[in-house]
A = this chain, B = another copy of it.
Amino acid sequence: MTIEQLAARLSAGALTTDPDIIAAHARDEALFCPHEGAIALVRAASASDVQEVMRYATANRVPVVPQGARSGISGGANGSPGAILLNVSRMNEVVAVDEAERLVTVQPGIINQDLKDHLAPYGLSYPPDPGSVALSSIGGNIATNAGGLCCVKYGVTRDYVRSLTVVLADGTLTTLGPRTAKGVAGLDLRHLFIGSEGTLGVIVEATLRLIPALPEPVTAVATFPDERTGLQTVADFMAAGGVPSLLEFLDATSLSMLNAFGDFGLDEDAGSMLIMQIDENPTDSEAAMAVFAEVAQACGALDVAYSDDPADSAALVAARRMIQPAYEKFAHAHGGGQLLDDVCLPRMAMPEFCDRLGELRSRSGLTIALVAHAGDGNTHPSVFFDAADAEETARAQEVFGEIMRIGLELGGTITGEHGVGYLKRDWLSSELDEGGQRMQLAVKAALDPLGILNPGKMFGAL
């Protein structure tokens, strides 16, 4: 079969070999990741399109790069030499809402926020809320086991996946289930697929578990003289049994970049800030807020305030959600470069991690800002640099790697929620022991024996 013959078997207009269109679809949001060389783009309209592409790819040993919204930041959706870009963004329907079983079945291309909006009238909630909630698709969220702000109480994408329908390397369609609340019939391949970044197959449908609509939260804001006291508050509050529904940390650099971006009026004199939410009933929330205030003050907080006004809460969380655009504005004015890291740590290790970032700052002379989904120990340091300056760029990349090394040293992981993709493939072997590395490759080879699914990503350097 030629690629023209493949095109004829797909939904009308699904396949294009136009170099400009291919180029416009060849990368996600990652820096420093190769993305060139794709030979075609298929915008699949159905599972059958996906199957046809995979059958063709197997027959012709053509690499395939599964893509959703391309909002990832590790290069997992980037093109590679000779590859077909297999984009499922057009498959974005809600197939069915089952109120009685609290389930929703969706196509992979639906945007996370669109799903949330669709569910609101039913009084049901799909909690996972990655920073990219307005941009990223459910298929991509599953492929990277996306996290977000609410994970500290509500868990990650994995915790909401019931069954997946996937297309395997050879075009076989299979459903990894069951849809029931419990099920242990055979190896749980559904959980193997979650977070597999398009290296094992292509998700074409997902049934997700829902929970009753989340209650309105009470929101606290605390400011601290420095970073360390803010992060110590997180560790101590969680150790005291706190169950926040959101617990975000911003360092002084991030606060000042946010203020420079929008009219948020955040306290510029503070060395760091915590935004914390509790969504229990009023009595429990108030009690938890009192514990939080006590812990924060014991750690040396400058100020602790809280509000049960939904508008206040929404405004604060909206400010936090603007951090990436604020970073981009700063980067734009300073040479354009930003490398966003994603080290997840034991909570108790965060204060020391912050000290080590300080040393890195002094040593490298680079601006490093830190935000964190702190209740989960999931830190996002950003390294800023002048992308036109080769030496500074190299220094920034070195710092980026050093941050991961420190994370591993402190008992953490190189990636809490962003995935490995191209960006971190050289570091994967620093995290996994030798047996673990061999198992990764063995499972990959078992399910994709020709190595056509997203080659070079994730395992590319093992």
Contacts and interface: CB of A to CB of B under 8 A. Distances in A.
A335 to B, nearest CB: 30
B175 A344 contact: no
The size bracket of the interface on A is 35 or more
A444 interface: yes
A24 interface: no
Contacts of A186: 420, 428, 431-432, 436, 440, 458-459
Contacts of A329: none
Given A435-B172, A435-B174, A376 B181 contact: yes
Main secondary structure, interface of A, reads loop
Nearest to A147: B182
Interface stretch (A237-245, A304-312, A357-365): A237-245
A414 B192 contact: no
Contacts of A345: 180
A185 B428 contact: yes
A144 interface: yes
Contact of A445 (B151, B155, B159, B446): B446
B145 A188 contact: yes
A442 to B, nearest CB: 4
A419 B184 contact: yes
> Which of A191, A192, A347 has the most CB atoms of chain B within a 10 A radius of its CB?
A191
B185 A432 contact: yes
Q: Which 10 A-B pairs have the closest CB atoms?
A: A174-B435, A446-B446, A191-B191, A182-B416, A181-B376, A172-B435, A442-B446, A183-B413, A178-B413, A100-B239
19 contacts: A100-B346, A151-B182, A156-B182, A158-B188, A174-B435, A175-B436, A180-B345, A180-B413, A180-B416, A181-B376, A182-B373, A182-B377, A182-B416, A185-B424, A185-B428, A187-B440, A188-B191, A212-B243, A442-B446
